[in-house]
Structure 1
């Protein structure tokens, strides 16, 4: 039964009401990464009180007995560690996992796993892949509710155990919760944090009615000013789960969830500006009509729905199917200037040309000037819109042949259409702008503006050509995959082999760059496949070794197939070839366990991208560009990633748990790359050229990590915990032949917290939590988007050229919460 329960959880509400009594006769610790789902959720809910859905669709490592490199983070840690941050904050004490980007604003964090970014790491929600189909990206601002509804997250580094036709190069993140709760009850929670952050959540479930039907719901509201200047945000999370059991062998569960939000954004800044204006300086805002106004705001609403069906055909055979759909609406804003400085016609005037002495944008001056003049706006704020609809189906049949052999087979179908355009948010006192880039409608005036509300974005966006500016194109992607797994499991030896084949078609329809009848690109079809296998041997009851290997031929993403933001097919867009090999050793005793893993990954034909900001003063490398991002795309890159990882857990007494981790990596580029630069208007900047990347380091993640942690129960219900981590061998994300890598200073962080549980009755309980992150207020550089080296006479900060653009990490932050379960 244990293995049947392992794959049984789809991503649904996290409503926890069962009490668990701790054992008093002896102390026994089970390795986290060998926990089945019922063990992971033991502190939260009894399986007998939960409808089980999603068998065979969501893949945890216990779905097969051959181990992988995996870490499971329980619901308690999610609740305690996240606070006012993204759910990614709960992953910072995991080997080979680096969390960056928090300083960009609410929901801006990013995860890098074994040196691979999120577009090359698989994220699964309710058994469905949720990485963007056009570029593989994932935006945590769209998933802010995960920390409320997830009961556990299993991080599978490297090959992973997913049976889908996907290539988890960096790893696979499985978000796991229970479905509609059988027991009536709910909870209310409220939290506060630094910088006027507030959050409240209420959840309730009806319990199982007539032993067949149940409903679980959850609503959340949050808002805050943000850690850095002018990075306010606000959002809601909603969740509805409807469970129905029409017959003994059938279970249905329908889920609808979403997290509409808006947040103002920070950008990487020059170190010199941060030293001048303060570490929290944000160059994207100014005062307008007496209020703060940030020209860069992200707003989005992405409802997600899925229907799970589990059918226990027999004691040996089961079928699991999930139908899913998502509708994304919203975008991100920025400012544009078309006017020229009266004293220097090569430089822009207005928003992008000047700033106040305090470093803020001179928005009021721009507004007053344009309001007085009227007519066409030389300065305005516009949004780049990404609307999409995505439908899919995943189904898996599992059959147990006998006590030693089992197999499963299934399919993965997806269809996606994304609509990309620009629309106006504000003319800043003027009346309209003139659009001339549309070849089908060569010149027209745009006088309509659109709200940045995520709720209004669902339906109120530019739907006719006279309201669109800049560009308007669609991306269509169809994908079909078949996958299967065969496994042998003996007393001491296990082995498995997995494989998949897939076909993907991509097409682009451009209504701005092409005349009527010529909008459609050719349809590009690519075939992909992967195969992986492994074996393990249990030396004794407490010792086990394993090895896994896999090879992927992965289709390129849509954004890499078509070049220059046009229908031009990229001749370099070949399948990416990935080879992964890993081995491990596991030991567990009565009160101790440890996992040691080693890996080797090569990745060829890949395409990477970075960005840097050109300020109001411009620079020699990008003449004519001011106050906007330049995006650099590197094509044909090869990477080699090697490393070792260690996790340990020791419980010397019942009330004390000690943990530790370490990861040592060496991630490098090999060979040459074709480098192309683009501005924010999607134009090529300069001339593409070939550069030698051989031997340069892969940046944006610490290649050396060390960590220690502990939890101590002072008295029953009252506990304290602390975690320390060190990040070293960290390089900036930008790399080129001229300047190589920018190595950043290593840093260490300590987080701590206190938890107090008070049980009023067997059903009613209060939980209080107080958390402090970066207790010692360590000042550190978390990431850099440029690679300017220090030379003689250059002003430096901690050895770094102060003209580099960086993000400082957060200083000391705090959060507190109370939760009442009823």
Structure 2
């Protein structure tokens, strides 16, 4: 790998040295039918060897000695187009925008979608730090991996692999986790309203329906008042398709993975109507033991083109799924039981049972209306709704009653025997064990509308509104009594002293009909209402060489909760809390010598705290010390465009003050009971400073070869000390000196403490990343590709003084594609191998036990630390028939 790294840097130097000289210049922009850029399209002067390729924004600059003729524009999977030109000698020629339609090898071209509310970077002249992932790359490289994996070959991105199970990946942008990166689906925000998190298991079908993904790092181009501290990820789905046709695809992969997908499009009919539908069924055992998962993905879209002014589209997308989960655990346990060890499952009467199952079904519906008022004005609106139903299972009762077998798995047989021995088979928190469902249901409705007006050729503005309302319902119910006849509850204020006798399946389908009575709930039972109103606007001035913009948004959030477990009927409703937040961004760019662009952007966010941080201890008591988080962002960049090489160089500084974080700690030793439990560490007053540089290079040396390289070098650290509190799994503050971080550690976890972390590194994501990838078309229809990435400076995710760094590692992925074209149909074969060399590495560390003179160590890391080993070699093979 050291030699490979040398080749990597040598290739960069060679690519930078490419210089093209010619007499005349042709410039232009190439897009698909959705007006999204087509990076890597070939532009050639007919009858000559003069050739250029488009950059990531779809633009090209072509040098030629011809003063008239035709240029041929082609892109794999799209219909070729020829455009005539005539050049006035000595004067650069800019062609009209060139749109390519797709051919039968691909999913059909999207023609109806609410584009005006989707903040793609190309919609604004002033650049941002951005990377585009095309539909082809998503389809080919995602395979049996989760959706965040499609973004791992872009600078500033770190994805912790799905060692926890299907849907449990974590993604970081410039060192900021998913709660601080805004994820947008067709212009609508999809981060959790309560905590800002992203639960990828809810979106397991995204790789099937995503048309393009654009990663905007840092300030981005979004006009909404959203959580884009690290950046904004815009996901654009397919909608109603232009041509009649369909496809069928089958995939197999490691660990008994299988996926079957079928889709069909009516095409846009003479009446102006059209419909598209898709259905997927998938299942797999998971890479680690005890991480089985299965689910469905469905997509249905109806479009109507009333006339040239009005386009309508209604779509529904959902991905019901359930998957067994694995948590981080000590390296010592992995070394004892194997790297695929999972202690969350066991067997009862020969049948497999998992204690930790995530199950969820979150249908999303949105209605888009694009209204072209005139050639200078347009209005785009999306109304959306989602209904999330499901939750996760876990143990409930006394930890002393949870037993393990000698091979490290849960001893359900002994647990059932102990439960049956109780009087009348009725258990309590103190004397029994059962599996519960933690139910997290919600209903979310919203509308985003944006009006755009091009005042003149140089000046434009837009303004809009963002409305959302959300209600979440949270309670626990029994999933498996484990031999009990009932469970006695005596801590519910409104319903004292009752016995629970019903159990409910952990199933994404039945979760829509599970409605337990109040006297069939355990542990907690509360609702939350969050309402949001935001307005936003932007003004931009642009010429051929110069552009500048100013953006602003202001929003108000109101919060209220109802708690039926801890409070009487008269006191169950909390005080309402209103918080106002805002952001303002501005920037400018200058293009000189045709191929070179410099830009700078700056912004400030005053972001409201999340709902979960407003009310203390998951009760109705309002935290009066909660305040808005302050984020200041500065970035500058350079863009170079030539016929064969595009270079993006970005530098950034993000200062984040007054933030609050919560981390989960698994398998923590209770010194009184002697059992391991799960805890949550809450940190307030966190100040972070993230600085760094990012480089991205794309090159097309020949029509058969594409090369992409990137580098991210960050310096992310805490800029002040923090205040920490620790809660147990039932959300109670734990007493002092009851828990140790591990069985061999001498340091006790305190419930309230000051952490002196100023100057310490921020963990969770690798601060240094290098990558190099290439794709080569061997012969017509046959291509091969490979990607290499190296990760370094990866620290534990805990906010603590003593932070632990895990060893650097590098990974190689490879793929092969073969296409057979027939009359009006095609057959596509694709094979992927990820982690080709089966590298053994740590992808995540959630504790910070330092090396001591007496500690046992693994590759320089204390074995008492809780970690995830990254997935070893995995593979998938698919066959797709397009008709």
TM-score under structure 2 length normalisation: 0.87
Note closer, same or farther for the CA distance 1:539–1:583 as it changes in structure 2 (3 Å cut): same
1:660 is matched with 709
* Alpha-carbon spacing, 1:613–1:242, altered in 2? closer, same or farther (3 Å): same
1:3 CA drift (Å): 10
CA 307–792 in structure 1, closer or farther in 2 if over 3 Å, else same:
same
Instruction: Report the alpha carbon displacement of residue 21 of structure 1 after superposing the two structures with TM.
Output: 9.6
Matched with 1:706 is: 770
Residues of 2 paired with 1:50 and 1:139: CA distance? 27
How far apart are the structure 1 equivalents of 2:613 and 2:827?
A: 51
| Pairing partner for 1:296 from 342, 345, 356 | 356
8 A Cα contact 1:425 1:449, kept in partner: yes
Q: Once the two structures are superposed, what CA deviation does each residue of 1:791-820 show, in whole Å capped at 9, x if it has no partner?
A: 002100001110100000000111100111
1:350 and 2:401 aligned: yes
What residue in structure 2 maps to residue 543 of structure 1? 596
| Residue of 677, 680, 684 corresponding to 2:726 | 677
Distance, in Å, in 1 between the alignment partners of 2:51 and 2:490 is 73
The secondary structure found in structure 1 opposite 2:306 is strand
Q: C-alpha displacement at 1:429, in angstroms?
A: 1.1
Post-superposition offset of 1:480: 0.4
Partner of 1:749: 811
Q: 2:464 pairs with 384, 388, 410, which one?
A: 410
Q: CA deviation at 1:358?
A: 0.8
- Is 1:146 matched with 2:206? yes
Residue of structure 2 equivalent to 1:560: 613
Mapping of residues 250-265 of structure 1, within 5 Å: 250-265=310-325
Task: Give the 3-state SS of the residue equivalent to 2:117 in structure 1.
Answer: coil
1:384 alignment partner in structure 2: 438
1:229-378 paired onto structure 2 within 5 Å: 229-338=289-398, 348-351=399-402, 354-371=403-420, 375-377=425-427, 378=432
Could you tell me how far 1:516 is from its partner in structure 2? Answer: 1.1
- Distance of 2:687 and 2:164 partners within structure 1: 29
Cα pair distance change 1:39/1:810, threshold 3 Å: farther
Instruction: Give CA-to-partner distance per residue, 1:509-557, whole Å, 9 cap, x none.
Output: 1111111110111111011110001000001211111000000001111
Q: Is the contact between residue 7 and residue 54 of structure 1 (CA under 8 Å) also seen in structure 2?
A: no
Find the aligned partners of 2:479 and 2:438 in 1 and give their Cα distance.
10
1:203 corresponds to which residue? 263
Structure 2 equivalent of residue 170 of structure 1: 230
Instruction: Name the residue aligned to 2:840.
Output: 779
TM-superposed CA distance for 1:640, in Å, is: 0.3
How many residue pairs end up in the alignment?
A: 793
1:684-709 CA deviation, whole Å, 9 max, x = no partner?
A: 01332222220111100000000111
What SS class does the counterpart of residue 125 from structure 2 fall into?
A: coil
Residue 128 of structure 2: SS of its match in structure 1? coil
Q: Deviations over 1:206-246 (max 9, x none)?
A: 11222410110000000000000010000000000000122
Q: Is 1:601 the equivalent of 2:651?
A: no
Aligned partner of residue 734 in structure 2, secondary structure: strand
Aligned-residue offset at 1:369: 3.7
Aligned positions of 1:557-596 closer than 5 A: 557-596=610-649
TM-aligned CA distance change 1:151 to 1:50, over 3 Å: closer
- Residue 94 of structure 1 corresponds to 154
How far 1:756 sits from its partner (Å)?
0.6
Once residues 22 and 90 of structure 1 are traced to their aligned partners in structure 2, the CA distance between those partners, rounded to angstroms, is 27
Report the 3-state secondary structure (helix = DSSP H, G, I; strand = E; otherwise coil) of the residue aligned with 1:452: coil
Larger Rg: 2
- Post-superposition Cα deviations, 1:392-441, rounded to whole Å, max 9, x if no partner, equal 00000000001000000000000000001101100001111011221111
Query: What SS does structure 2 have at the residue aligned with 1:684?
Result: coil
- 1:273 is paired with a residue whose SS is helix
Does residue 1:633 correspond to 2:689, yes or no? no
Report the counterpart of residue 500 of structure 1 in structure 2: 553
Matching of residue 796 in structure 1 with residue 831 in structure 2: no
Q: 2:877 aligns with which of 808, 813, 816?
A: 816
Question: For residues 121-160 of structure 1, what are the structure 2 equivalents within 5 Å?
Answer: 121-160=181-220
SS of the residue 1:272 aligns to: helix
Among 95, 113, 126, the residue aligned to 2:173: 113
CA distance, structure 2, for counterparts of residue 39 and residue 451 of structure 1? 53
Task: Name the counterpart of 2:82.
Answer: none
Structure 1 unaligned segments of length 5 or more: list them. Answer: 11-19, 339-347
Task: Give the superposition deviation at 1:639.
Answer: 0.4
Matched, 1:457 2:511: yes
Structure 1 residue 612 displacement after superposition: 1.2
Change (3 A) 1:9 1:124: farther
Query: Residue 502 of structure 1 contacts residue 528 of structure 1 at CA under 8 Å; is this kept in 2?
Result: yes
1:733 aligns with 2:797: yes
Deviation at 1:179, TM superposition (A): 2.0
Relative to structure 1, the CA distance from residue 425 to residue 140 in structure 2 (aligned partners, 3 Å threshold; closer, same or farther) is: same
1:8 Cα shift? 5.8
Contact 2:694-2:710 at 8 Å conserved across structures: yes
Q: What runs of 5+ residues in structure 2 fail to find an aligned partner? A: 1-27, 61-72, 80-99, 103-107, 736-750
Distance in 1 of aligned mates of 2:837 and 2:149: 18
The 10-residue stretch of structure 1 (285-294 or 227-236) with the greater mean CA deviation from structure 2:
285-294
- Name the TM-score, length of structure 1 as normaliser: 0.94
How far is the alpha carbon of 1:41 from its aligned partner?
9.9
Query: What displacement does 1:34 show?
Result: 5.0
- Cα 1:729/1:184, change in 2 over 3 Å: same
- Does the 8 Å CA contact 2:43/2:51 hold for their aligned counterparts? no
The residue matched to 1:94 in structure 2 has which SS? coil
The whole-number CA distance in structure 1 between the counterparts of 2:109 and 2:342 is: 49
Matched, 1:28 2:52: yes
Q: Summarize the Cα distance change of 1:250–1:61 in structure 2 as closer, same or farther, 3 Å threshold.
A: same
Mapped to 1, the partners of 2:869 and 2:645 lie a distance apart of 37
CA contact (8 A) 1:7 1:60 kept: no
Deviation at 1:611, TM superposition (A): 1.6
Deviations 1:565-613 (A, max 9, x none): 1111112310000000000001111011110000000000100111211
Q: Given the superposition, is the C-alpha separation of residues 322 and 35 from structure 1 closer, same or farther in structure 2, using an over 3 Å criterion? A: farther
Matching residue of 1:649: 698
Equivalent position of 1:515 in the other structure: 568
Query: Using a 3 Å threshold, how does the CA distance of structure 1 residues 43 and 229 change in structure 2: closer, same or farther?
Result: farther
Distance 1:9 1:102 in 2: 34
Displacement after TM superposition at 1:662 (Å): 0.2
Asked if 2 retains the 8 angstrom alpha-carbon contact of 1:187 and 1:203, the reply is yes
- Give the 3 Å change call, closer, same or farther, for CA 22–764 of structure 1 in structure 2: farther
Moved more, 453-462 or 187-196: 453-462
Secondary structure of the residue aligned to 1:517 is coil
| Rounded Cα–Cα distance in structure 2 between residues aligned with 1:767 and 1:7 | 23
How far the C-alpha of 1:180 sits from its partner, in A, is 0.4
1:343 matched to which residue of 2? Answer: none
Aligned to 2:449: 395
Deviation at 1:625, TM superposition (A): 7.1
- Counterpart CA distance in 1 for 2:270 and 2:276 is 16
- Structure 1 residues 178 and 198, CA, compared in 2 at 3 Å: closer, same or farther? closer
Structure 1 Cα separation of the partners of residues 35 and 490 of structure 2 = 52
Deviations 1:116-165 (A, max 9, x none): 01111000011100001111011111101110011110000000101112
Shift of 1:49: 5.5
**Larger displacement relative to structure 2 (431-440 or 802-811):** 431-440
Distance in structure 2 (CA, Å) of the matches to 1:407 and 1:26: 39
